[in-house]
Amino acid sequence: MPEILKTRALVIRKLNYGDSSIIADFFTEHSGKISAIIKGARSSKSRMGKLVDLCNLVEIVFYHKESREIQFVKEVDLVEHYHGIKNDLDRLKYLLAVSELLEKLTIENEPHERLFRGVEKILTLMNESGSDSKLLFARFFLFFIEELGYQIPLSNCSSCGKEITVSGQSAFSFNSGILCSACKKNGIEYVEMTEELLEILFCLSHKNCNKKFAEHDLKRIINLFEKYMMHHVHEFKGLKSLKLY
């Protein structure tokens, strides 16, 4: 018999199914990523269909059966629409990128409550007026990488363990992370790190850093994280959301 479960969830993908239903992927608080069908959701009278919109935070009640790949949603209530993000093209781009990371890189039915809390926190901050969406996304991306088990050593050289300083010459290896000036000579694939880029990396690893950084440097950091994950997860081909506009 299937269990009836209730959980908060972010809608990370949806597609039409049959004549009137939709299948949605949710990143849930207690069950991780799941796929579920919402019958009749495309009917003009369906309340649930209107609520299950991409990147909405909802509370769902669903029938869960381990042997079934697609679950059945029974009830949906809206928790947060993120109006502030969705009314701003730049912030919307990073909201979609968060959703894309969850869709492409998390494993189905693998609970990850800490990651869910991180998603909820970063989207709440991003939703606030005047928020720096690029910096917030970079911080989330680093947190996401660590939560998936691909932690990037930042304080010390990933090869020899030597302490890394902002003023020292260093590089970023897509295989292992930061390399000191001596070890970078042995790196097969790396990019040189400027003081500005190192300062951003150190800032992102600390909770209370609220410095302002150049947009092009933040973009380079996000690109480094993207390539780092592409190196470690070969099925991952990068974030399409960041190239939309």
Q: Which domains occur in the chain, in start order?
A: 3-80 (2.40.50.140), 86-243 (1.20.1440.120)
Q: Are strands 177-180 and 170-173 parallel, antiparallel or unpaired?
A: antiparallel
State how far Cα 113 lies from the chain centre.
14
Alpha-carbon gap, residue 85 to 116, rounded angstroms = 18
Task: Report pLDDT for 207.
Answer: 73
pLDDT of residue 73: 96
pLDDT tens-digit map of 174-229: 988 899 888 877 656 788 999 999 999 999 988 777 788 999 999 999 999 999 99
pLDDT in tens, the chain (245 residues): 679 999 999 999 999 998 899 999 999 999 999 999 999 999 888 889 899 999 999 999 999 988 889 999 999 999 999 999 999 999 999 999 999 999 999 999 999 999 999 999 999 999 998 889 999 999 999 999 999 999 998 889 988 999 988 877 889 999 888 998 888 776 567 889 999 999 999 999 887 777 889 999 999 999 999 999 999 999 999 999 998 76
The predicted structure's pLDDT at residue 188: 66
Question: Torsions phi, psi of 123, nearest 5?
Answer: -70, -35
| Residues 161, 163, 164, 168, Cα dihedral to 10° | -110
Question: What is the spatial distance between Cα 209 and Cα 223, in angstroms, rounded to a whole number?
Answer: 21
DSSP class of 213: -
Residue 141: per-residue pLDDT? 97
